């Protein structure tokens, strides 16, 4: 709301007629050149805390800088009626103005809104690298009270300046303060309280997985979780988990750890397998029976079905075992008996 100033100057004679050129004053015709006549504005914007005659009236002359009203609050709009304007002009001996059809003047006090939409990011940057915290992008800030936009003078173009910051590393509780240099409206620092935690990206399952299930990309989502709850064994990318098998049942939404996963078993105990012996120029294959389960690269015992001998081999594919036989020992009768019979040569 516009508030009128109180003046001690004597009030001039009552305004007899206002609004258009040629208005009669005290029964006499007043001839005022149209170009010089004071003219009322319909809407104005002011930057200070007072409204002057020249803000409201064009061609106000020598009294243009005289203060007549207090401005509305910064960033808001108020109105002043025509009669209030006329009353305020009388002490300055302005008795005739061109008001046209204006019955009230809208007065806006210019201001700049300080947007706090990024205040959490500012706080994160303030604490990043301190008190054992990591990078700002990994910090999650929760404020006790959501800030509302604050209005400052339009002339104030400075940014928020950090004045103090305190953090309890155990609880994550903080108190931080910023000030707005150059503002007479915001004289005290703006204080914020809340909590801050460090988070990490982890791969979590979006559905329950049974023991032995092979993890697929569609089984996973990447989420941020508190670092203190995850530990160093957490898997941070889907690439690290896809293609591996879960050791035990995994519930939906559970962060995956490296200990939860293993290489998938390509051979299971008692499975029929293909035994392969390969050296340059020779490829021998035969049937066998797995005596142990194993993932790719595991060394397991297998039974050569033809020779009924137990030999060791490396799991090299689904139900496929490559025999581990030293070249120097091939000539021995026991080794030759264990080897598969040749089915192809090259």
For residues 61 and 12, state if they share a domain.
yes
CATH number where 301 lies = 2.30.30.760
Calculate ∠ Cα 300-302-303, nearest 5°.
165
For residues 231 and 180, state if they share a domain.
no
How many domains does the chain fold into? 4
For residues 122 and 214, state if they share a domain.
no
Other C-beta atoms closer than 10 Å to the C-beta of 71 total 22
Other C-beta atoms closer than 10 Å to the C-beta of 27 total 7
For residues 161 and 254, state if they share a domain.
no
User: What is the residue range of 98's domain?
Assistant: 3-109
Q: In sequence order, what are the residues at sequence separation of 6 or more whose Cβ sits closer than 8 angstroms to the Cβ of residue 2?
A: 51, 69, 70, 71, 72, 78, 79, 80, 84, 107
CATH number where 258 lies = 3.90.1210.10
Q: In sequence order, what are the residues at sequence separation of 6 or more whose Cβ sits closer than 8 angstroms to the Cβ of residue 249?
A: 208, 209, 210, 211
For residues 277 and 330, state if they share a domain.
yes
CB distance 273 to 320 below 8 Å:
yes
DSSP code, position 63: G
For residues 98 and 9, state if they share a domain.
yes
Model confidence pLDDT, tens digit, residues 178-231:
999 988 888 889 999 999 999 999 999 999 999 989 999 999 999 999 998 887
Model confidence pLDDT, tens digit, residues 45-102:
999 889 999 999 999 999 999 999 999 999 899 999 999 999 999 999 998 899 999 9
CB distance 133 to 123 below 8 Å:
no
The lowest-confidence range among 33-37, 122-126, 185-189 is 33-37
Total residue count of the chain as it appears in this document: 346
Last residue of a domain, one of 262, 291, 307: 262
Q: Give the model's confidence band at 155: pLDDT under 50 very low, under 70 low, under 90 confident, else very high.
A: confident
Last residue of a domain, one of 198, 220, 249: 198
Closest of 313, 307, 318 to residue 291, by C-alpha? 313
d(CA 268, CA 164): 64
Greatest C-alpha distance within the chain: 142
Q: What is the pLDDT of residue 340?
A: 56
CB distance 316 to 267 below 8 Å:
no
For residues 104 and 9, state if they share a domain.
yes
d(CA 214, CA 220): 12
Last residue of a domain, one of 109, 136, 169: 109
* Dihedral sign, Cα of residue 152, residue 154, residue 155, residue 156: positive
């Amino acid at each position: 709301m516009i508030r009128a100033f109180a003046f001690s100057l004597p009030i001039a004679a009552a305004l007899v007629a206002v609004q258009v050129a040629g208005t009669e004053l005290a029964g006499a015709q007043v001839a005022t050149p149209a170009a010089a006549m004071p003219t009322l504005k319909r809407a104005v914007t002011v930057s200070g805390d007072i409204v002057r005659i020249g803000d409201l009236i064009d061609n106000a002359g020598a009294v243009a800088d005289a203060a007549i009203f207090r401005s509305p609050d910064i960033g808001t709009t108020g109105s002043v009626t025509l009669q209030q304007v006329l009353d305020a002009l009388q002490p300055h001996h302005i008795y005739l103005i061109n008001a046209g059809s204006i019955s009230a003047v809208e007065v806006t006090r210019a201001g700049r809104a300080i947007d706090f939409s990024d205040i959490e990011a500012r706080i994160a940057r303030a604490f990043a690298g301190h008190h054992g915290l990591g990078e700002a992008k990994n910090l999650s800030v929760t404020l006790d009270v959501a800030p509302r936009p604050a209005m400052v003078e339009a002339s104030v173009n400075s940014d928020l300046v950090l004045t103090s910051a305190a953090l309890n590393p155990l609880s994550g509780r903080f108190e931080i303060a910023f000030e707005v240099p150059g503002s007479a409206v915001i004289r005290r620092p703006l204080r914020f309280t809340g909590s801050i935690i460090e988070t990490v990206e982890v791969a979590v399952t979006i559905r329950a997985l049974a023991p032995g299930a092979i993890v697929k990309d569609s089984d996973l989502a990447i989420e941020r979780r508190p670092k203190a709850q995850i530990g160093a064994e957490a898997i941070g990318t889907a690439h690290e988990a896809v293609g591996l098998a879960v050791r035990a049942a995994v519930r939906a939404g559970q962060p995956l750890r490296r200990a939860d996963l293993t290489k998938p078993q390509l051979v299971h105990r008692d499975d029929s397998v293909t035994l392969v012996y390969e050296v340059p120029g020779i490829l021998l294959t035969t049937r066998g029976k797995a005596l142990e389960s194993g993932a790719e690269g595991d060394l397991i015992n297998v039974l050569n079905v033809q020779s009924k001998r137990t030999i060791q081999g490396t799991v090299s594919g689904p139900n496929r075992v490559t025999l581990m036989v030293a070249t120097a020992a091939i000539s021995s009768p026991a080794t030759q008996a264990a080897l598969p019979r040749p089915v192809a040569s090259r």
